[in-house]
Amino acid sequence: MHVLIVEDEIPLLKEVRSYLEKEGFICDEASTGKIASDKLFSNNYDLLLLDLGLPDYDGIDLLKETVANSKNIAVIILSARSAIEDRIKGLNFGADDYLPKPFSLLELKSRIMAVIRRKHGIKANILQVNRLQVDLDKRVVTYEENTLNLTRKEYDILSFLILNKNRVVTRLQISEHIWGDIIEENYNSNYIDVHIKNLRKKLSEYIDGDFLETVRGIGFQFVEASQE
């Protein structure tokens, strides 16, 4: 998951980034509204963690700008503004959640996972596709009683594809979501194909059929029905 952390308290910014990266997130950071606006324009983020009290920008204005231009992004406000009016304003303008400072990093992760569940229509931190199960919290993939020995990137790609099952995901989207990088259309994204190949090999030990479907010239999709 590709996250942009917008926070002008640098120690807190570094603490949140360090924690989330250890939890498997890809993080960018911005300490001003201008930097954040530029990054949001140039990248497709899955999640925005937004401090309202920025030195050069009204956080609510940045929120409105983000929601208007990035329909699929999830937004959690992190702010010392604890007044109920500020919370209502943030939620009314499109934020998915509001976490007042000071906050626990464990609670932050729980809020993030809850927001992602809502965005994808998931009721728990477990993705179940027939007998294949992905634990989003523990970052573990099992098939029946067997735990699959996946690398971090293989897990990230598989969970991303399952979250978007039966939908084509482009190489660009995979690259931004997993690596936080933008690849050019004519760039040789062979590293993604290598990870897909390894995933197919590991999953084929337990599941018959090609459930990771290649859409030539575009990307990949996880086809749920092919596991039957």
Long-range Cβ contacts of 114-117 (<8 Å, 24+ apart)? 115/47, 115/74, 115/76, 116/1, 116/46, 116/47, 116/74
Count CB neighbours of 34 within 10 A.
14
The whole-angstrom separation of Cα 97 and Cα 203 is: 36
Res 192: pLDDT:
87
Q: Can you give the pLDDT at residue 75? A: 95
What integer best gives the mean pLDDT of the chain? 86
Cα 164 → chain centroid: 12
The domains of the chain, with CATH numbers, are 2-120 (3.40.50.2300), 126-227 (1.10.10.10)
Residue found by looking up tokens 């930097």 in the block? 35
Answering whether pTM is above 0.85, one says no
In the predicted structure, residue 209 carries a pLDDT above the cut 80: no
pLDDT tens-digit profile of 143-161? 988 999 999 899 999 998 9
Please state the rounded mean pLDDT for residues 72-99.
Answer: 85
What pLDDT shows up at residue 227? 43
First to last CA, the chain: 29
Kindly report, residue by residue over 41-58, the tens digit of the pLDDT.
Answer: 988 899 999 998 899 988
Closest by CA position to 142, among listed 186, 203, 187, 88: 203
User: Does 66 score more than 90 pLDDT?
Assistant: yes
pLDDT one-digit tens code per residue, 12-22: 999 999 999 99
